[in-house]
A and B are shown apart, each in its own frame.
Chain A
């Protein structure tokens, strides 16, 4: 089955700095990826998605980069704020079940004032 993993389990940044969270995936046939943010005591919240026909997609303060050659995703958060502190997951959409999500372990982002 699909395997989605993250390079670092924790990331600490200073408020105002940029954050980069990385993710590797193993299924080269995957064509849709999503980043989720999960705050303590809450369910995952959609941040941004990207399809395999794109290399980059930008949202509000967030950018996702997709490198299909090395099967790598990254989430960049500009001007990181304390409210960005959470666990971030990349999820791969695939399999025979429509919309089934395959999640990695997650990266805990901590933003220091």
Chain B
């Protein structure tokens, strides 16, 4: 096991709703990244948080937002859900220092279905 947990495991929402996904990183990891994995595809980078600040974003609209907390937990929020948001959402934690990052450890993911 990686020591990274995510909740909930599965979630069903309807178009237009808002959703919050949660991640608990490994203790001591100061960096968390979120990825979206559509069925049959590789994970796509959404954004990264380093020491509670956004540290980079992929090609995702502003309705995807996040938070990182001092207790090694983090959230991914998605507003105005669209059908194409249906995917597996993965968080990955790592320890970054001195311009380098350690191995990223992934959680099991949250399967989001938008109807």
Contacts and interface: CB of A to CB of B under 8 A. Distances in A.
Contact of A98 (B2, B42, B48, B58): B48
Q: How large is the interface on B (under 10, 10 to 19, 20 to 34, 35 or more residues)?
A: 20 to 34
Interface of B: 2, 4, 31, 33, 35, 40-45, 48, 50, 55-58, 90, 92, 94, 96, 99-101, 103-109
A51 to B, nearest CB: 11
Contacts of A105: 40-42
Interface residues of A, number: 23
Interface in A71-98: 89, 91, 95-98
By secondary structure, the B interface counts as: strand
Interface of A: 4, 36, 41-46, 49, 89, 91, 95-106
B45 A104 contact: no
Given A95-B56, A96-B56, A97-B55, A103 B42 contact: yes
